[in-house]
Chain A
Amino acid sequence: MRAGRLAFLVGAARGLLRREPPPDAAYAEDAVDPREYDATPHPRAEVGVAALLALGGLLCAAFAVLVVAHPDTQLLGATLAAGLGCVGAALALASKRVVPQEVHVEEREPVPPQVDEALAAEARAGGEGISRRRVIAGAAGLAGCGLLGALAVPITALGPNLDGAPDRTPWRRGRYLVDPDGERLRAADIAIGSFHNVLPEGDPRALEELGAPVVLVRVDPRSLDLPPERRTWAPEGILAFSQICTHAGCAVTLFRYPVSEETSKPPALVCPCHYSTFDVRRAAKPVFGPAVRALPQLPLAVDGQGFLVAGGPLSGSVGPSWLDVRQSEGGA
């Protein structure tokens, strides 16, 4: 099967690449080309073309009926493909067998000598204003400028038009964390080894912001290895990070949490796009994949009733690491 397909491919490629042989002497003026005019009637071909066209028309009509009456994908595809195929086959057959085959050469009238002279004078006069060379050079310059412009202008589109979005975040000290249904989260309800998609409570417009979605995970608090200034950011081992990957801006939606770390792998957040992997216990430091910057962390606190609340804004710029964002992030 594979070998057959390969042979067919090779055959097709060779057919495409083959050069036509040069016209030989038989095509000289007085020789008769057998294909010059051929109007042999092919009654069977005519019937065939008519039949194919009729069948194609019927199939296309059947397609139209099916769309309304019984829109089954396979039937729709089959009728339309067969209908168009029939029309195409009819056209191909007609061009080969029904239409007279003729090789026509248009003869050029010989130019009389006096007209020849007049033409030459006209050509000489025309060249006096602007030289042909200058016209071509000018046009080429214009084309070059246009081409360069066409190449250069799109460069401005490389790079995000984020309009300050990486540094805008709706998270403030005292803002409650809510699940996608808008319900506040209790610290006690977050199981070790679970993860949750979280948004800031309140203004729904703020949820459109790049800096709004946060992923919440809980690990064993004894295993945390946060920088000293972040020691208080993870009450009871609950950590929150921006959900937007610092590599290409995908949503970080995978959380790996080992049953037995000694015999497998440490807990990590993973981006499904390019598998950037962030070590949650070391403040989402990237440990694998293309991301180079840690996910910004959201400081957390627990209020008097046990609800999770933000302890401040996100720790850094949200989203992909474009040049200026990467530089503005200090510690990571």
Chain B
Amino acid sequence: MRRRLRALALVLGVGCAGLALWSAAAGGQQPPPARPGADPGLAERGRALYARSCAICHGEDLRGVRGRGPSLVGAGAASVDFYVSTGRMPMSDPTAEPERADAQYPRRDIDALVAYVGSFGGPPVPRVDAGAGDVARGKESFTENCAGCHQVMGKGGIVVGAQVPAISDVPAGQIGEAVRIGPYLMPEFDERRLPAAELNDIAAYARYTAAPANRGGWGIGNLGPVPEGLVTWLLAAVALLGIVRLLGERTR
């Protein structure tokens, strides 16, 4: 599956590059230069990368292409870093659901794209420190704000008509970005709704769910009462039946 995706991405990348070359040769538009404030060298490299891989869907001028991709003006550094570093972008089919994958660019290319698109405004990459968070408070906050879709143990699932990703193994920084930007169908949570300290708590709890302390001994996938009930019925009830059979008396 991953190999196929990679192949698709490669084909698409080559296609995009070809199109970009073609449009450049035909005197097509170049993406606008980065706004002042960004690291000029980095943003300039980001501009070239953008023209090659992103402009086909998000537009040469970053204002989006109808039916393909939304405007990136004001999307912000947090969005670019989230989508590209989680491998959700670039996407082979703009109507598909973005799914987590290996990042398709090395870190320095991602930084260049972040610098370039980030110079057009929008939320910066938030600082999140799971180490500074409190797991207990994080669980409360997670239950209230996140568990409706991501499930209380962060396993994800299929809710609101989309795949909800598991968050246990997601780095704290990406969790913070997702919270602030609201990727795909997720709503965004601003500072007022979730202050930075609460975000740290949530990140701490998310990290905890990767290896939770199973007080009962066996987590059974930490999926909740249904598998627990099944185990009770299939193991304990069968064992009891066996004991009843052993104890019972039979003539002959």
Q: Which residues of A contact B (CB under 8 A)?
A: 5, 8-9, 12, 15-16, 20-21, 23, 73-74, 77, 92, 179, 189, 191, 193-196, 217, 253-260, 262-265, 268, 270, 272, 275, 277, 288
Contact = CB atoms under 8 A, between A and B. Distances in A.
23 contacts: A5-B238, A12-B241, A16-B241, A77-B217, A92-B247, A179-B192, A193-B187, A194-B193, A253-B148, A254-B159, A256-B161, A256-B186, A258-B185, A259-B185, A260-B64, A262-B66, A262-B68, A262-B70, A263-B69, A270-B160, A275-B160, A277-B160, A277-B161
A274 to B, nearest CB: 12
Given A23-B251, A92-B246, A260-B64, 14 more contacts: A8-B242, A16-B241, A20-B251, A21-B251, A21-B252, A194-B193, A196-B193, A217-B187, A262-B66, A263-B68, A264-B184, A264-B185, A265-B160, A272-B148
A257 B217 contact: no
B160 A259 contact: no
Contacts of B18: none
A92 B242 CA distance: 14
A77 B218 CA distance: 13
B245 interface: yes
B208 interface: no
A270 B190 contact: no
A189 B193 CA distance: 10
A194 B184 contact: no
A299 to B, nearest CB: 23
B162 interface: yes
Given A256-B161, A264-B97, A20 B188 contact: no
A interface, over-half SS: mixed
A166 to B, nearest CB: 24
Contacts of A194: 182, 187-190, 193
Interface in B169-219: 182-190, 192-193, 215-217
A6 to B, nearest CB: 10
B182 A193 contact: yes
B20 interface: no
B152 to A, nearest CB: 11
A275 B95 CA distance: 23
Given A12-B245, A73-B215, A264-B185, A20 B250 contact: yes
Contacts of A8: 238, 242
A191 B241 CA distance: 59
B67 A263 contact: yes
A256 B188 contact: no
Contacts of B189: 194
Contacts of A262: 66-68, 70
B121 interface: no
Interface of B: 64, 66-70, 94-95, 97, 148-149, 159-162, 182-190, 192-193, 215-217, 234, 238, 241-242, 245-247, 250-252
Contact of A9 (B188, B238, B247): B238
A270 B66 contact: no
A276 to B, nearest CB: 11
Given A5-B238, A9-B238, A12-B241, A270 B159 contact: yes
A275 B190 CA distance: 25
B160 A260 contact: no
Nearest to B64: A260
Contacts of B68: 262-263
B71 to A, nearest CB: 9
Nearest to A192: B188
A234 B47 CA distance: 40
Nearest to B95: A263
A193 B97 contact: no
B10 to A, nearest CB: 22
Contacts of A195: 187
B235 to A, nearest CB: 9
B184 to A, nearest CB: 6
B160 A73 contact: no
B193 to A, nearest CB: 6
A253 B160 CA distance: 11
- Which 10 pairs between the two chains have the least Cβ-Cβ distance? A260-B70, A256-B160, A256-B185, A255-B187, A272-B148, A257-B187, A270-B160, A254-B148, A263-B95, A253-B148
Given A259-B70, A263-B69, A12 B242 contact: yes
Nearest to A85: B243
